[in-house]
């Protein structure tokens, strides 16, 4: 059905994208010259353009998006823990009130 899937290191991908973007050659031609599938190179170019557009628009880069995701998850966990602690506190307050009422009878 299909052959073994090849992987390319980051410097190779970046170099291939730079060739397409800086020379203006079609991605299909550059892909043939480098021995890369045309769709693969077009995907790399599309992602690079999207990153460049996001950075130009003041958006977040990949590491910032990952940190934001991690912080949101941490915030969600802390809110959950805070809610649980609040419920425990309320139960303890009610227990103390009942205990005091019972002790003063």
Does residue 40 have a pLDDT over 90? yes
Q: What is the pTM of this model?
A: 0.53
pLDDT at 1: 52
| Alpha carbon separation from 13 to 7, 44, 50, 90, 105 (Å, rounded) | 10, 7, 15, 57, 80
In this prediction, residues 30-43 reach a mean pLDDT of 94
Report whether 45 contacts 21 (CB < 8 A): yes
Report whether 17 contacts 44 (CB < 8 A): yes
pLDDT tens for 56-88 read: 777 777 788 889 999 999 999 999 999 999 999
Report whether 48 contacts 17 (CB < 8 A): yes
């Amino acid at each position: 059905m299909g052959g073994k899937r090849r992987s390319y290191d980051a410097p190779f991908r970046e170099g291939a994208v730079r060739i397409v973007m800086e020379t203006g050659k079609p991605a299909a031609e550059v892909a043939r010259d480098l021995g890369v599938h045309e769709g693969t190179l077009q995907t790399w170019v599309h992602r690079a353009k999207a990153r460049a557009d996001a950075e130009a628009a003041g958006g977040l880069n990949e590491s910032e998006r990952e940190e934001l995701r991690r912080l949101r998850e941490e915030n969600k966990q802390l809110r959950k823990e805070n809610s649980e602690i609040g419920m425990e506190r309320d139960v303890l307050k009610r227990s103390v009130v009942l205990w005091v009422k019972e002790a003063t009878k």
